[in-house]
Amino acid sequence: MFTKTLLLTALVGLGGDAVWGHEHSGSLQEHLSAQGPHKERLWYNVLPGDGGTQADSVFSGISTFGRIPYFPCLASDEEKFDIAFLGAPFDTGTSYRPGARFGPSGIRQGSRRLNLYGGYNTLLSVNPFNSWARVLDCGDIPVTSYDNAYAIKQIEQGHYSLLSRTPAYEADEGRKGPAKDGKVLPRIITLGGDHTIVLPILRSVKRAYGPVSVIHFDSHLDTWVPKVFGGAPTEQASVNHGTYFWHAYKEGLLKNNTNIHAGIRTTLSGPSDYENDAVVGFDLIEAHEIDEIGVGGIVKKIRERVGDGLVYLSIDIDSLDPAFAPATGTPETGGWSTRELRAIIRGLDGLQLVGADIVEVAPAYDTNAELTTMAAADILFEVMSVMVKTPLKSV
């Protein structure tokens, strides 16, 4: 307060209006409004629209996803949103390299320059940062690293707390939507975390919508029977990043036979793994198929499988080849390029996405150039664009 009083006194001596650094001009209020962080604008200037001012100093300020406004949504429901980014820093369900608990902060760091030039997505003809949708970074779910069972409950509770709220967009008030209560709900994009987090997220989604179809980008199936993947010496050990879809199937969280994996290239315990995968309710696209049918063929198979219903999108960063995303817990060579995966996600335009995540980003294994975290951020930019282009409707 004392500093602000001094600033006011100094500015009054300058005559009220003045020219400020970084090419900001106008009244004191306009000057203060240009200095983040605060809830309505970016850190250093308002979000530029078409032909507007280019963002400055994207390398400074506290990191949020794409430098969007931050609000502690889990502590307060005063701020409404249509799309929320939410971190789930959990990695004690991983089987090989840990470190994805730092994924949320790494992805935010990698997203800094997403709207350097305004954020307009030329290929989808939309600006997800400047649209009808209010987008917030809601921080992270406080996840314990000492008790997996409790952590999974925390993730479900935190996710549902945000998912079940009234969205910000005024036109959605009273409009009939696809949720079980007939309402339109906001959409949550979760920053993982290892892939185990999808089990509590799907529990949350079922509470709001009922069973949904899942599009799963990954190099691994993640539908393994617990005794095959990890041995399941205890009940809690049976829940991990290779078995969560098996549990989701057993709990009725998946819409029957409308789910699909894409990018699969893992080794198996044997052919029975694919047989079990089909029982769980998945079709699959192996990574090599892109060489025969191309991006368009991959998109066609995905869309034919999920149809026109509600879809949850889960993206493991290891669906990319380690040449493009080395910082992950279980890397597999022979994967897709960042360009190919982004193009496939753009091909999902028009689908009714109720939510999404990106997982298994472990920044400790990244290059100095933040290759993996930038790839993760750019992939979510496409997801966000698809969501903004296709508001949820009653189905």
The answer to whether position 324 is within a domain reads yes
Task: Give domain status of residue 38, yes or no.
Answer: no
pLDDT digits (tens, 9 = 90+) for 114-139: 987 789 999 999 999 999 999 999 99
The torsion angle over the Cα atoms of residues 303, 304, 306 and 312, rounded to 10 degrees, is: -20
Q: Report whether 140 belongs to an annotated binding site.
A: no
Residue 269: CB atoms within 10 Å: 11
Selected residue with higher pLDDT from 316 and 393: 316
Q: Is the pTM of this model over 0.85?
A: yes
Domain that holds residue 139: 66-389
In a domain, 169, yes or no: yes
Q: What percent of the chain has pLDDT over 70?
A: 84
220 labelled ligand-binding: yes
Tally the domains of the chain: 1
| pLDDT of 71 | 95
pLDDT tens per residue, range 359-383: 999 999 999 999 999 999 999 999 9
Is 8 within a domain? no
Dihedral angle computed from the Cα positions of residues 57, 120, 348 and 102, in that order, rounded to the nearest 10 degrees: 10
> Strands 25-26 and 18-19, how do they pair?
antiparallel
The CATH number of residue 183's host domain is 3.40.800.10
Give a yes or no: residue 164 inside a domain.
yes
Dist. CA 74–CA 200, nearest whole Å: 16
Mean pLDDT to the nearest integer, 180-206? 96
65: pLDDT confidence band, cut at 50, 70 and 90?
A: very high
Mean pLDDT value across the chain: 87
Residue 247 annotated as binding?
no
pLDDT tens-digit map of 6-57: 333 333 333 333 332 333 334 333 433 344 444 555 444 455 566 665 656 6
Q: Is residue 76 part of a domain?
A: yes
Q: Which of 91-100, 134-143, 171-180, 281-290 has the lowest mean pLDDT?
A: 171-180
| 49 domain-assigned | no
User: Does 283 count as an annotated binding residue?
Assistant: no
Lowest-confidence region among 39-53, 85-99, 192-206, 334-348: 39-53
Q: What are phi and psi of 79, to 5 degrees?
A: -100, 125
222 assigned ligand-binding residue: yes
Residue 21 lies in a domain: no
The dihedral formed by the CA atoms of 216, 223, 305 and 278, expressed in degrees to the nearest 10: 160
* Mean pLDDT value across residues 252-274: 96
